[in-house]
Structure 1
Amino acid sequence: MNYDLILEELGEFGAWQIGIALLLWLPASLDGVQILMASMTGVTPNRFRCKVSDHCVDDGQSFPENNSNFYPSIENDEFDYCKYYAPATNVDGTCNFDDTDKSIAYACNSTDDFVYDSFEMDNSFITDFNIVCDRKIFEPAVNSFFMIGLMAGSFGFGVLSDKFGRRHMLLVAILCCAGGSLAGAFMPEYYSYVFFRMIAGAGAEGCFLIPFTLSMEIVGIKEKVSFLPWVSYSTLLANFISIPLAVGESVISALGYAIKDWRTLQWVSSLVCLACAAIWFFIPESPRWLISTGKLDTARSVVEKASKRNKVVVSKYLLSAGNPEPEAQLQDGNVQADQPAKEDGQYSLSDLFHPSVRFISLTMFVCWPVITLLYYGISLSVDKINLTEDVFLSYILVSLIEIPSYVFLVLTMDIIGRKPLFVFSMLIPGATCLIAAFIDEGLLFTVLVLIGKFCASAAFNITYMYTAELFPTNIRNSAVGICSTMARFGGISAPWIAVYLPSQGSLPGWVAYTVFGGSAVIGGLLALFLPDTIGFPLPDTFEDLEEIKKKSKPMWKLNRATK
């Protein structure tokens, strides 16, 4: 049974495929919600202080009218809110924060009680867990632990969905994502909170990884979009599956306007995520996966239901376990029916280092973390871009900037090819980051960083699709999952390189963008040696992959590969 031949009669983008593609947008959006969850629930107050009850009666509410009267100043007209001058005592014994003794600066420590000035939220986990001053290191650790969860989810859901199927593991991913986030909303202290952030992160990665793979596997590469005749449906779905991720990031940012209590914001959004589990009742298993794992009876049932939905009739011989009849084979010979001497496509995880794919695997093990470091590193620079004074609106805009990059990919990927776009989506932001590292913040800096974010978003999307097209069906999700696991090393390091170490004076300001830019350039140069997969069906075996290597188009040509 050959799914590409079945698609010749079933159709690549009928009502059946459209319905599945739209349903898969729901779990894909959960990844975006969780990516920015901590940014919304962990907003840091602009001003705070520790209680000074040793000096006077502290009402736990008052702040100085002039910061310089109470806080020691540091460079660039900023103040050190972790230190204070002793306030004078009013007649009634209360503190006067604008009349202080500046001869000695006292330091706050983690055992002190803290008072927080009004800010964008009523509270956040920063204020509830007092993640300030000598506990400030725990703030970037929240995102790093979330990345560890993404890493576990990349590997776990990649391997398990190849073993147990896409549909069932998607349900598990949704339950992990929503359940972990929901439990985290009720945790009383920091360590249990970050534990459930890891659980939510693992599920969130599965909520994107599995829909991405499934959306590519239900279509082929021959039929074109009617109003974009050079774009295949495979390209359309593989790129548009990232749109709900950006929408999810925008939605959680918008909810921050309406819900100002961080725990309420988190449990409300988590319940909405949990409701997405209902799609399990409406989506089928991937026919391509069922065929590749020998579950032919189930695959036949899925295809028969799909044919009814698409209002077509699929020939019975195409649904048989044996080879299709000779006349059913494609005339151009590009997609061959299964032959007795051909590999059976049953591979194990160790085959990621098969000679046919070893260099591809190693190259992707470098490019994935580079792209992740670039994407999250630039995203964490939102405070430097200064798009607006509204933190929620800034996050919404920076999230929505990603969508034009996905549209750009749809319009160009089937003309230019995967490889050129993959290479330049790393080289261009590499160059912009290297330039931005050595100029002052301003309009040019903002433009360079936004160009970098545009390209990094495109690179992120190309990476998933390109990787999926370079590995045989039986290890495809495992390959994407393990590459995504490697990517999380870049994600784990991003908050430390981009924010924490420079803010502590551990690194000069130019180092972060130099690391981002230099890494991206290295990744782009390595990608020059990969084959282009444009015009080829998804490989089922290493023989198919070798055919792609031999006949992939040169990087500088715009026409489709000659197969």
Structure 2
Amino acid sequence: MPTLDDILEHIGEFDRFQKQTFFILCLLSAAFTPVYVGVVFFGFTPEHHCFSPGVVELSQRCGWSLEEQLNHTIPEWGSHGAAYSSRCSRYEVDWNATGVSCTDPLGSLVGNWSSVPLGPCQDGWVYDYPGTSIVTEFNLVCEDSWKLDLFQSSVNVGFFIGSMIIGYIADRFGRKLCLLITVLINSVSGVLVAFAPSYTWTVIFRLIQGLVSKGGWLTGYVLSYGTLQFLSPGRTPRNLKSEDEDGEKLKPSYLDLVRTPQIRKHTFILMYSWFTSSVLYQGLIMHMGLASGNIYLDFLYSALVEFPAAFILLLTVDRIGRRYPWAVANLVPLPISCNPHSRVLAPLLYPTPAIGGSRGLHSLPSAEPLTWACVCVLSRNLGVLICSSMCDIGGIMTPFIVYRLAELWHELPLVVFAGIAVVGGGLVLLLPETKGKTLPETIEDAENMHRYGASSTGPTDQSSFP
């Protein structure tokens, strides 16, 4: 009996129509990238200090340089750089008072430096940055610095909700129509984010942007997959095998993912692996935005190295399987945590496809194919949905990990990433190798998958997973 793969090969493989559709959907998927990693640029936090009325006039009268002005008027500036006090507090003195000394202004105002009162930045901040960002526009610093974390987390909340809601709408009303509508909403919400009058509206528009971005991308992904099988009747041997002996169709359940010991182990490992992929990929990019240097060049380098990363994954997966490349790739944060200047090279080995469309590498060997290979056909969609949700949850947590820990120690997020990655790399080795094996079609197949060698065709007579 010919398999579905044999039928698809007979009617034609990747031809002109499929190529055109795939190219158009790739262009649409490219819009996912700025939504996901754009916070590196428009969430940039420059060096800043409190604005104090009268300081500029006093500096001009005394002929101070900028460094002298900061040393005389900003708490704890000195040789240790800008500490929290220098960024978020100011001297509670009247710089407009008459008789202020140019050599010792604080001493002439209060006499004893140790008794100078400090207060909050009631009149705003001065930013050492010629451009603008949402941080400088809405003053998301000091006590309000957590709002930047919330801003980036909101788009991941949108990803989480949209991947479920938009998927249902696409199946209900059609994928093409849904894709066009989500692209339109994404464009409009992106413009509204730029012109939002307040922080609250910025977060709302950002949430909407995330809601339609990932849902629309997933719709396009499914649509591109469907163009290769538009002649398929929908009921294949793989579907029919999920029916019991009496012909009653078995209903998928979330309990199928934890019903048996091996499947339960695979489910939890894959959930953690997707979570790790999201935290590391997004976290390394966001931390790169905190580094000193040219952020545009650093981001360009980190993007360029993803091209060789794609070829490395293609070459290694076809030859040695998925587990070992993925496990080795998780060790990349180790040298990065020891040498922060090497973090722009992280995507070279890191499994960027694990997150999906942000780089258009979703078809490469990564988290989703391994998830498909370790879960039976009956629960495969639920398995990918659960793991994808863990990816979004990781994205929600990442901004708080990066920005809050960096306040304690600039490199602390990298140390945390290294620990998460080492655990993830070790757990991946506990998964069964999928190279040369058939996709499990029943719960029994998935449970016994670890018993078959790499050259075995498994319990079913189907084409093997590459």
Structures share fold, TM-score greater than 0.5:
yes
State the distance in 2 between where 1:127 and 1:384 align: 15
Task: Give TM-score, length-normalised by structure 2.
Answer: 0.76
Partner of 2:309: 405
Q: Give the alignment partner of residue 212 of structure 2, picking from 203, 207, 210.
A: 203
**1:413-452 mapped onto 2 (5 Å cutoff):** 413-426=317-330, 428-429=331-332, 431-432=334-335, 436=337, 439=338, 444-447=339-342, 450-451=345-346
The alpha-carbon distance between structure 1 residues 385 and 145, as it changes in their structure 2 partners (threshold 3 A), is same
Partner of 2:197: 188
Partner of 1:84: 90
State the distance in 2 between where 1:147 and 1:357 align: 28
The alpha-carbon distance between structure 1 residues 202 and 464, as it changes in their structure 2 partners (threshold 3 A), is farther
User: Displacement, 1:368?
Assistant: 1.1
Q: Say whether the 8 Å CA contact 1:369–1:487 is kept in structure 2.
A: yes
Cα shift readout 1:257-300 (whole Å, capped 9, x = no counterpart): xxxxxxxxxxxxxxxxxxxxxxxxxxxxx638x744x6xxxxxx
Gaps of 5+ in 1: 220-285, 295-322, 324-334
State the distance in 2 between where 1:96 and 1:168 align: 71
Alignment RMSD (CA, Å): 4.2
Partner of 2:188: 179
Q: Give the alignment partner of residue 553 of structure 1, picking from 442, 447, 454.
A: 454
State the distance in 1 between where 2:101 and 2:216 align: 53
Q: What is the letter of the counterpart of residue 414 of structure 1? A: D
Aligned pairs, number:
431
Partner of 2:106: 101
Partner of 1:501: 405
Partner of 1:39: 40
State the distance in 1 between where 2:344 and 2:219 align: 30
Partner of 1:127: 136
Partner of 1:529: 430
Cα shift readout 1:413-446 (whole Å, capped 9, x = no counterpart): 21121222223222x235435xx2xx4xxxx443
Q: Relative CO higher for 1 or 2, CA cutoff 8 Å, sep ≥ 6?
A: 1
Q: What is the letter of the counterpart of residue 123 of structure 2? A: D
Is 1:454 aligned to residue 349 of structure 2?
A: yes
Gaps of 5+ in 2: 108-112, 356-361, 457-462
Q: Give the alignment partner of residue 230 of structure 2, picking from 284, 287, 294.
A: 287
Q: Give the alignment partner of residue 386 of structure 2, picking from 472, 482, 488.
A: 482
Partner of 1:267: none
The more displaced of 156-165 and 78-87 is: 156-165
Partner of 1:381: 287
The more displaced of 395-404 and 158-167 is: 158-167
State the distance in 2 between where 1:499 and 1:432 align: 21
Q: Say whether the 8 Å CA contact 1:360–1:530 is kept in structure 2.
A: yes
Q: Say whether the 8 Å CA contact 1:409–1:458 is kept in structure 2.
A: no
The alpha-carbon distance between structure 1 residues 517 and 55, as it changes in their structure 2 partners (threshold 3 A), is closer
The alpha-carbon distance between structure 1 residues 341 and 134, as it changes in their structure 2 partners (threshold 3 A), is closer
State the distance in 1 between where 2:64 and 2:30 align: 41
User: Displacement, 1:165?
Assistant: 5.8
User: Displacement, 1:36?
Assistant: 2.5
State the distance in 1 between where 2:274 and 2:189 align: 26
State the distance in 2 between where 1:205 and 1:524 align: 26
Q: What is the letter of the counterpart of residue 140 of structure 2? A: I
State the distance in 1 between where 2:343 and 2:184 align: 39
The alpha-carbon distance between structure 1 residues 562 and 489, as it changes in their structure 2 partners (threshold 3 A), is closer
State the distance in 2 between where 1:449 and 1:398 align: 5
User: Displacement, 1:543?
Assistant: 7.0
Q: What is the letter of the counterpart of residue 81 of structure 1? A: R
State the distance in 2 between where 1:159 and 1:97 align: 69
State the distance in 1 between where 2:270 and 2:195 align: 39
Q: Give the alignment partner of residue 71 of structure 2, picking from 68, 71, 75.
A: 68
The alpha-carbon distance between structure 1 residues 384 and 145, as it changes in their structure 2 partners (threshold 3 A), is closer
User: Displacement, 1:53?
Assistant: 6.2
Is 1:20 aligned to residue 21 of structure 2?
A: yes
User: Displacement, 1:378?
Assistant: 1.5
The alpha-carbon distance between structure 1 residues 64 and 108, as it changes in their structure 2 partners (threshold 3 A), is farther
Q: Say whether the 8 Å CA contact 2:375–2:446 is kept in structure 1.
A: yes
Q: Give the alignment partner of residue 170 of structure 1, picking from 179, 192, 207.
A: 179
Cα shift readout 1:467-519 (whole Å, capped 9, x = no counterpart): 2444466754543333121122322222222222331x3xx556433322222
The more displaced of 128-137 and 354-363 is: 354-363
Cα shift readout 1:174-199 (whole Å, capped 9, x = no counterpart): 34433332332332111221122112
State the distance in 1 between where 2:29 and 2:215 align: 9
Partner of 1:348: 252
Q: What is the letter of the counterpart of residue 411 of structure 1? A: L
Q: Say whether the 8 Å CA contact 1:56–1:87 is kept in structure 2.
A: no
The alpha-carbon distance between structure 1 residues 140 and 412, as it changes in their structure 2 partners (threshold 3 A), is same
Q: What is the letter of the counterpart of residue 120 of structure 2? A: C
Cα shift readout 1:67-121 (whole Å, capped 9, x = no counterpart): 2122122573235232334474498x9x999974263254334x534444442x2
The alpha-carbon distance between structure 1 residues 537 and 99, as it changes in their structure 2 partners (threshold 3 A), is farther
Q: Secondary structure at the match of 1:455?
A: coil
Q: Say whether the 8 Å CA contact 1:382–1:394 is kept in structure 2.
A: yes
The alpha-carbon distance between structure 1 residues 383 and 188, as it changes in their structure 2 partners (threshold 3 A), is closer
Cα shift readout 1:119-160 (whole Å, capped 9, x = no counterpart): 2x2x22222212123222212221122222222233434565
Partner of 2:359: none
The alpha-carbon distance between structure 1 residues 383 and 42, as it changes in their structure 2 partners (threshold 3 A), is closer
The alpha-carbon distance between structure 1 residues 134 and 178, as it changes in their structure 2 partners (threshold 3 A), is same
The alpha-carbon distance between structure 1 residues 54 and 474, as it changes in their structure 2 partners (threshold 3 A), is same
Partner of 2:146: 137
The more displaced of 14-23 and 535-544 is: 535-544
The alpha-carbon distance between structure 1 residues 71 and 336, as it changes in their structure 2 partners (threshold 3 A), is closer
User: Displacement, 1:347?
Assistant: 4.2
Q: Say whether the 8 Å CA contact 1:369–1:489 is kept in structure 2.
A: yes
User: Displacement, 1:215?
Assistant: 4.3
**1:103-118 mapped onto 2 (5 Å cutoff):** 103=113, 104=116, 106-109=118-121, 111-118=122-129
Q: What is the letter of the counterpart of residue 72 of structure 2? A: N
The alpha-carbon distance between structure 1 residues 554 and 379, as it changes in their structure 2 partners (threshold 3 A), is farther
State the distance in 2 between where 1:53 and 1:193 align: 33
State the distance in 2 between where 1:206 and 1:98 align: 62
Q: What is the letter of the counterpart of residue 342 of structure 2? A: V
User: Displacement, 1:29?
Assistant: 1.0
Cα shift readout 1:291-342 (whole Å, capped 9, x = no counterpart): 44x6xxxxxxxxxxxxxxxxxxxxxxxxxxxx9xxxxxxxxxxx88967978
